[in-house]
């Protein structure tokens, strides 16, 4: 579980285009922390003194309702920053973060990082790009939750996963329960929806592997054109 901090930083989009000096400085203020599967990394409402970059493993960012239901906002993997929002506005973490797998994260203290931002326009622009991408993604999630049904959201997710994994035979990186939370539904509904896709011979499901048999139909379901 040992991780070379500089390697991780060098691979993160956030730190592209920086000088060697900047890397040294970053590495000198960074602290790596290990978490076991299921460990809480950040708690919503806690005062924010810094943020993390995921070096290894997967983490989920989520909100919790009064009766304990979760809504996943993100699943983050290697190179992605977590908990950076309150570095720039607000003083507390806006959501919970838990390790989905054993994970190593690199911590940056807020103040030290802010100093670096002031001196590095490129770093600030990278951070702006990262936040913008998230805003774009969130806007898409809001659109989907409000305007699309579960089968369209699931189809869209499967297609994006296939694209990322470069294969029509995708491996779910999440438990079905977490996937349901991420799609804004519950595991029962996800299960039924997958069954219907299976019955329609659009996908085949084996454990956590899903084969996309009919990508074209899946695309029209994702677009909300076909009802299923």
Partner DNA sequence: CGGAAGATTGATCAGTTTCAAGCTCCGTGG
Partner DNA sequence: CCACGGAGCTTGAAACTGATCAATCTTCCG
List binders of DNA among 120-149 (CB under 7 A). 149
Nearer to DNA, 21 or 207 (CB): 207
Binding site partner of 176, from a second copy, DNA, none, Cβ cut-off 5-8 A by kind: DNA
Binding site partner of 147, from a second copy, DNA, none, Cβ cut-off 5-8 A by kind: a second copy
* Beta carbons within 10 angstroms of residue 133's beta carbon: 11
| Residue from 194, 197, 212, 222 binding DNA (CB under 7 A) | 194
Binding site partner of 177, from DNA, a second copy, none, Cβ cut-off 5-8 A by kind: DNA
The SS3 of residue 203 is strand
Residue 226 as a binder of DNA (CB under 7 A): the answer is: no
The SS3 of residue 185 is coil
Answer yes or no: are the C-beta atoms of 73 and 61 closer than 8 Å: yes
CB of 144 to a second copy, least distance (A): 9
Nearer to DNA, 12 or 151 (CB): 151
Binding site partner of 13, from DNA, a second copy, none, Cβ cut-off 5-8 A by kind: none
Residue 189 as a binder of DNA (CB under 7 A): the answer is: yes
Instruction: With residue 76 as reference, give the H or E element that holds it.
Output: strand 70-76
Binding site for a second copy (CB under 8 A): 63, 65-67, 69, 71, 73, 85-90, 94-95, 114, 117-119, 121, 124-125, 127-136, 138-143, 145-148, 184, 223-225
Taking alpha carbons only, the member of 23, 21, 2 closest to residue 11 is 23
Residue 187 as a binder of DNA (CB under 7 A): the answer is: yes
Query: Which residue stretches of the chain are H helix?
Result: 5-11, 20-29, 85-88, 110-119, 121-147, 150-165, 176-182, 187-199, 215-222
The SS3 of residue 124 is helix
d(CA 204, CA 215) in angstroms, rounded, equals: 12
- Rounded to 5°, the CA angle 49-51-54 comes to 155
Nearer to DNA, 19 or 208 (CB): 208
Nearer to a second copy, 22 or 211 (CB): 22
Binding site partner of 129, from a second copy, DNA, none, Cβ cut-off 5-8 A by kind: a second copy
List binders of DNA among 46-85 (CB under 7 A). 67, 69
Residue 46 CB-density burial (10 A; 0-12 exposed, 13-18 middle, 19+ buried): middle
Residues that bind DNA (CB under 7 A): 67, 69, 149-151, 175-177, 184-195, 205, 207-208, 227
């Amino acid at each position: 579980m040992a991780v070379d901090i500089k390697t991780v930083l060098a691979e993160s989009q956030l730190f592209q285009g920086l000088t060697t000096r900047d890397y040294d400085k970053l590495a000198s203020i960074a602290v790596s922390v290990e978490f076991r599967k299921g460990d809480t990394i950040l708690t919503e409402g806690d005062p924010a003194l810094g943020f993390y970059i995921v070096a290894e493993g997967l983490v989920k960012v989520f909100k919790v309702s009064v009766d304990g239901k979760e809504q996943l906002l993100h699943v983050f993997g290697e190179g992605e920053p977590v908990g950076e929002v309150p570095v720039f506005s607000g003083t507390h973490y806006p959501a919970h973060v838990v390790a989905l797998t054993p994970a190593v994260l690199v911590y940056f203290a807020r103040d030290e990082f802010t100093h670096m931002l002031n001196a590095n326009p490129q770093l600030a622009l990278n951070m702006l790009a990262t936040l913008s991408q998230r805003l774009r993604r969130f806007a898409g999630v809001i659109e989907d939750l409000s305007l699309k049904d579960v089968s369209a959201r699931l189809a869209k997710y499967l297609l994006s996963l296939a694209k990322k994994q470069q294969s029509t035979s995708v491996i779910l990186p999440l438990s079905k329960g977490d996937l349901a939370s991420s799609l804004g539904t519950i595991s029962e509904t996800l299960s039924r929806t997958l069954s219907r896709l299976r019955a329609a011979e659009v996908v085949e499901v084996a454990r956590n592997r899903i084969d996309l048999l009919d990508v074209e139909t899946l695309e029209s379901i994702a677009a909300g054109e076909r009802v299923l």
